[in-house]
A and B are shown apart, each in its own frame.
Chain A
Amino acid sequence: MKYLDEYRDPQAARKLLDEIRRRTTRQWTLMEVCGGQTHGLLRYGIESELDGVIELIHGPGCPVCVTPLEAIDFAQQLALRGDVLLTSFGDMLRVPGSQQSLLETQAAGGRIRIVYSPLDAVELARRHPDTEVVFFAVGFETTAPATALAVKHAFRDGIDNFSLLVSHVRVLPAMELLAQSPQNRVQAFLAAGHVCTITGYESYYDFADRFQLPVVVTGFEPLDLLEGILAAVTQLESGRSCVENCYSRSVRSEGNLIAQDIVREMYEVCDRPWRGFGTVPQGGLQLRDEWSQFDAAKRFNMNLSLPVIDDARCRSADVLAGRIKPTACEEFDRDCTPDRPLGAPMVSSEGACAAYYRYRNPQQVTSGG
């Protein structure tokens, strides 16, 4: 595939790996924020190749993982109502809610449908005017333009049986929290390439300056990841801390202005609890009041009477903040596997625990196979 395969070339990757090793005089600690990048680093063996050379800490860049329990429970209740069709990205289905996952809800008779795009959910609403269609709107700033566009389509076409259950999250505020923490060991960030495609990276200048941390906008394929790491290391070795763009085939400094306008029209910034991470100030997006007719939380007015408790054994908070690697968790590959997850990072296609499980070294496999 063009613009994909060439960035997976093994020989070019080896050249970059060699250059990274050649450049580093000490072990630096880098964090990649986006879950897609975590999976790439593990799938293509980059983390193990750089073992001892670079320490890679994995950040909370998995929107599915950080979706609050309340939102999942809410989604479940909607799906079980009978007059609602809950539509969602496939990723969300195995994430455990406080009682069960959406997949289990579906097996128990909940009306749930996987869609590839929120705009497909609008089409479903159009074709089934007798049913309320709710789209579970999770995702970073990459996804917000798509859900915003879905509302615009529904509005234009007078589709009044469509709404969003909004749980969008914003990356930079979480990076701020991490960088501010006294336990922070991250010396440079690999910024999420598709988030920056939308938002641009001008807002990172201030961040890099205040915390004196290099920020390198990085893509997802092996060569992109290696290029990002190399750029970060080069800065660190020369004591610089600026914002650099290593995903320039997709990212411009101002980002995608049209997308930003669309998002700004429908959404406003709000504080949001990130599952396993705590409340992130300005860490979320919510629909503006004037669009509240498309807000499922307001339309369906659900109340949750049960306290929200995550399984105590799940250490997703520590994993998401990069304090521990998934393999350091006692339950990893024991009581917690993708089939029987204790927490979200083990089931999401962008979760760090899932990445570690899936791409683990066969020599480290503990279960019987």
Chain B
Amino acid sequence: MLAHGEGGRLTRRLIRERILSAFGNDILESMDDAARLPAMNGQLAMTTDSFVVSPLFFPGGDIGSLAVYGTVNDLAVSGARPLYLTVSLILEEGLPIVVLDRVLHSLAAAARRTDIRIVAGDTKVVPRGVADGLFINTTGVGQLLETPPPGPTALQAEDELIVTGSIGRHGMAVLCAREELLLQSSLQSDCGPLWEPASLLMDRLGTRLRCMRDATRGGVAAVLQEWAESSQLTLEIEETRLPVSPEVRGACELLGLDPVHVANEGTMVVAVERDALGDALSVLHSHPQTCDAVRIGRGTERKLAAVVIQRGLGSPQPLDDPLGAPLPRIC
């Protein structure tokens, strides 16, 4: 169990024993107040994120792996090679040490898998009931490639839209893991790193790649809405093209949700110049994280709605925010 403490003996011991043993590297071990990093050529990219997912452990991942992959992916889709990570933990008093250990080892394993180094961290213990077990905040630093993707302002009409895998897996896996819904399935979160496929894509496509974004909270719909806003285009997708696994479908029907609004943690939306579609798909298919990539739609001149979905029957409809209460704490 953890006792409330701030920089006192207990906390220092905690850091020394648990965290160093899980993360140990030369930068961290020197244990100054600030990490000293080697100089870099070129621009830096930096991102920050907080992770509050409940439950802490879900099929396909946990808050630890989520924290690493989420941060890595934010850097990757911006065109930056992920290099360094800080990890701040807010721990609830009474959190069992075994839970902390599991999360730390998962964090460390994910970091090793993505070659990102954890260089600084912080730990705070708060009273029971405040942090629901454990919250994590990260900051990621990466090296921007010479020609990163320009972003959604570069989107043009006739550009093609791709989604790199089946959608809604993370959100539904987390929901199914919530005890109170009493759902059982073999659904797994898609939680995983996207740097490799992203860098392959940037290499092969160059300026023919407009933008990429991992479709986290708010799902594919949220990404499209932001891109439509930035580009002042209309983005049109076809519902029948969206890849949805039967289990995600089943869980969504049962709970009255639309997979297009459900969070993903290892799946991106990608926009490319029209002629680059074939190349983009072939690159994505060559990597296990993105092997199920498909084209889902395209950009057009702005009509009145920002994002439009063509369902199997009937005419195209605007794709808005979802109705009903928002899903709490999926990410």
Contact = CB atoms under 8 A, between A and B. Distances in A.
- Answer yes or no: A and B touching, Cβ < 8 Å: yes
Contacts of B249: 1
Contact of A360 (B254, B317, B321, B325): B317
Contacts, number: 94
Contact of B313 (A13, A357, A361): A13
B101 to A, nearest CB: 27
B96 interface: no
Contacts of B254: 116
Contact of B324 (A349, A364, A369): A349
Given A1-B250, A361-B317, A369-B305, A43 B324 contact: no
Contact of A338 (B234, B307, B312, B321): B321
Given A1-B250, A4-B253, A354 B323 contact: yes
B42 interface: no
B323 A349 contact: yes
A43 B228 contact: no
A363 interface: yes
B311 interface: yes
B311 A124 contact: no
Contacts of A1: 246, 249-250, 253
Contact of A358 (B246, B256, B317, B325): B317
B312 A8 contact: yes
Interface stretch (A90-98, A138-146, A157-165, A303-311): A90-98
B151 interface: no
Nearest to A116: B181
A4 B312 CA distance: 14
Contacts of B304: 362-366, 369
B288 interface: no
B306 A347 contact: no
A120 B178 CA distance: 13
Contact of B315 (A48, A93, A103, A124): A48
B13 interface: no
Contact of A90 (B180, B229, B315, B325): B325
A322 interface: no
Contacts of A222: 313
A44 B312 CA distance: 8
A252 to B, nearest CB: 24
B320 interface: yes
A49 interface: yes
B255 interface: yes
A45 interface: yes
B241 interface: no
A44 B313 contact: yes
A358 B320 contact: yes
B313 A91 contact: no
Nearest to A101: B325
Nearest to B232: A369
B325 A43 contact: no
Nearest to A337: B320
Nearest to B250: A1
Contact of B316 (A8, A114, A115, A362): A362
Contacts of B229: 369
B36 interface: no
A91 B324 contact: yes
Contacts of A290: none
A10 interface: yes
A347 B323 CA distance: 7
Given A90-B324, A90-B325, A349-B323, A362 B255 contact: no
B324 A44 contact: no
Interface string B292-316: 0000000000111111100111111
A94 B324 contact: yes
Interface centre among A8, A10, A348, A369 (most CB of B within 10 A): A369
21 contacts: A1-B250, A1-B253, A44-B313, A45-B315, A48-B315, A90-B324, A91-B324, A116-B181, A116-B182, A120-B181, A338-B320, A349-B323, A358-B320, A361-B315, A361-B317, A362-B316, A362-B318, A363-B303, A369-B229, A369-B304, A369-B318
Interface of B: 180-182, 228-229, 234, 246, 249-250, 253-256, 302-308, 311-318, 320-321, 323-325
Given A13-B313, A115-B180, A362-B305, 10 more contacts: A1-B253, A43-B314, A45-B311, A45-B314, A94-B324, A120-B181, A362-B303, A363-B303, A363-B304, A369-B305
